Structure 1
């Protein structure tokens, strides 16, 4: 079975390949094709993968190409993990937003809108090519902003594109660990949009254990989200938010922390990964060792500014090992082998959340089988969460409309409507500065 990875020169690709190396069952992936526009990055990542495969006799064969059509032909699964504009683009997104006094994170607020506006046209082109060259393929979207990009691709691929994110999975596992439950046996009642969702229950053998957590200050203070949001706020919500909601609930503190940081997250990753690719592409030395060192530093510093502003301390050891690659492998297994699984995924809403239309992509638990991912029924969100979900979904729709029409005015509207951009004047300034900084936004007129 052939797996094509778009963005195959990306830093996290070895996580995916490492997960594939652990799968020896019938129907597994036997061929991996890496596609990237940067041949140097492809060579570096290919070296890492070759070292990973050295002790595995039946390791999937790996090839690399810069030809997108060649990469797609014959694929059973396509992982889309592209970064339009690279990490330099992310650094610019953050810098411009923070200079305007608003959040620049790559999936939330102004930075997420800028990233979406330049990514959606590329993702749509990929979706059209998949429909033409590999119509039976399943596309698993890793590309951020994951919900927005997945929704753009569904308009051409329907339910054959599924978005994934490791944040809800990691959150559910942390809650289960704190409660002494087996994460594999716990059902996580999680509902929302990508990076905008809430755990409302954690059921073990039919019993909801979340009230026990919310009623115990010591337990609440023993895991990352409890320290990040504070026990009092979590009890007020009656739920555990995705970590990215810290940008909403503590926006002023987050913006200030990012403005005061020595470098933005994008600039840090840009410089860090530049060193890795130089080392891994050169002769001699171990590319895998270089990747391991770089990954450990990357994971340990994840959302460091938020944790520092909240006094949340360091990340726990269990949260430094990745996770989205495990979700991707479980999703592929469920589809390819018709092995039913329940996974939190980004899929079309259908009738799950009645405040949104059927085509809106949401992030919810799904039953996965050979026919794809089917969202499970969910209770309505409380009013405060409904308002936020509806507002952000409308922003996503305006981004999609701007990407389709090339309308600069619609792009301004997308920024202005976002809850974390508090001024039409600032929205106009952001569009001006982002279009000046990114060639990928030259289509806005």
Structure 2
């Protein structure tokens, strides 16, 4: 089976390839890389060469410069593109901050701006996949993942599935804090969980081991909550008030004043940090003296990237450093591999994915993309029934889903009113006048 990676020059592509090399099932027989930047994809190909060296069953890799050539014959397509590059991300962050609202690539005004730029490209990709590889399954990691998956599903239906590593990371960290042996995740049916929401906006509402509910005990234990990332991020008092464990990105909503205060006057946004870090990596790796030098440089840069993840939110909640357990979780590379295995093997594996809602949340349209627990077979990913949402959860989901759908509408029809509606209705944008100024500046700086 051929796996095509769009955004094949992306910094985290080696994580996917490493997971494929470690895959005992050898589910993928060839990897095809496609990227709009030939220098970046050449460097990443060097890193993959180093990873494969000496491996008993290396997976062949080739680079295709034309999108159509990369897609033809693919069994799976992994989409992890960044339209506008890190320069676009910097604008998405800085323009909202200049108006006194949060700038972040997937949340708030920054996420809307990124979606407006990305959706047209994602739709073109979806149309080419439908024409050249209609039987392929598309795994979308392109941010903002919920919005982009929703747009692509208009062309590909249920054959596009969005993934994110935040939910599985939350589940695994919470389970470890509750005393669950990590090996239990490999034993069918032992660990259960109820997670529902949208991408970067969801809640873990139940966690069981062999049918015994663990979440109330975990929420009552200050030491256990203080042992993992989300517990420290939100604080024991607020988590007990909620009665659930929120996805880490909900920190932007629940603690918007504190997070905005930590980032508003920053000398360097996350986009600016990554622009310098990754730009420096590709510059040095191009002259690193071959695959070994490129790989070692990549590994050092990757660790620094992971250690600084969501630094402003951590500063707003006490300024603690991520430890080894915070860096664990599942990784989107392993989520993608588990999804491919489940489809190929018709296994019925349960994974948290971004899929069409159906009747999971009755208040949302059936074709709206939600992030929830799914059962995956050869027919794709089907969302499982879940308990009713609380009013606060549902209210936030409905408002942000309206923003996502307006973003898609604006991008597809070049509709300024829809774009303004998407920005102004977002819970983290506090004024239609501010939304209009952000939209005008973004159009002027594009």
Normalization by structure 2: what TM-score? 0.96
- Partners of 1:30 and 1:59 within 8 A in 2: no
CA positional deviation for 1:97: 0.8
- Partners of 2:228 and 2:326 within 8 A in 1: no
Please name the residue that 1:84 is paired with.
83
Please name the residue that 2:105 is paired with.
106
Please name the residue that 2:305 is paired with.
298
How is 1:6-405 mapped onto 2 (pairs within 5 angstroms)? 6-25=6-25, 28-183=27-182, 184=185, 185-284=190-289, 286-311=293-318, 313-320=320-327, 323-405=331-413
- Partners of 1:228 and 1:312 within 8 A in 2: no
User: CA–CA distance in 1 between the matches of 2:257 and 2:312?
Assistant: 12
Alignment partner for residue 432 of structure 2, among 403, 416, 424? 424
Aligned length: 437
User: CA–CA distance in 2 between the matches of 1:22 and 1:437?
Assistant: 44
- Partners of 2:153 and 2:160 within 8 A in 1: yes
- Classify the secondary structure of the residue corresponding to 1:172: helix
- Partners of 2:407 and 2:422 within 8 A in 1: yes
Unaligned runs of 5+ in 1: 439-445
CA positional deviation for 1:196: 0.3
CA positional deviation for 1:305: 1.0
User: CA–CA distance in 2 between the matches of 1:25 and 1:380?
Assistant: 38
CA positional deviation for 1:337: 1.9
CA positional deviation for 1:24: 3.3
User: CA–CA distance in 2 between the matches of 1:163 and 1:394?
Assistant: 18
Unaligned runs of 5+ in 2: none
Q: Deviations over 1:54-113 (max 9, x none)?
A: 021321100112200000000000000000000110011111111110111100000000
Moved more, 131-140 or 280-289: 280-289
Q: Deviations over 1:143-182 (max 9, x none)?
A: 0011110010111101000000000000000100001113
- Partners of 1:227 and 1:312 within 8 A in 2: no
CA positional deviation for 1:212: 0.3
Q: List 4+ stretches of structure 1 deviating above 4 A.
A: none
- Classify the secondary structure of the residue corresponding to 2:351: strand
- Classify the secondary structure of the residue corresponding to 2:143: coil
Moved more, 279-288 or 33-42: 279-288
- Classify the secondary structure of the residue corresponding to 1:200: strand
Please name the residue that 1:3 is paired with.
3
User: CA–CA distance in 1 between the matches of 2:267 and 2:362?
Assistant: 44
Normalization by structure 1: what TM-score? 0.97
- Classify the secondary structure of the residue corresponding to 2:3: strand
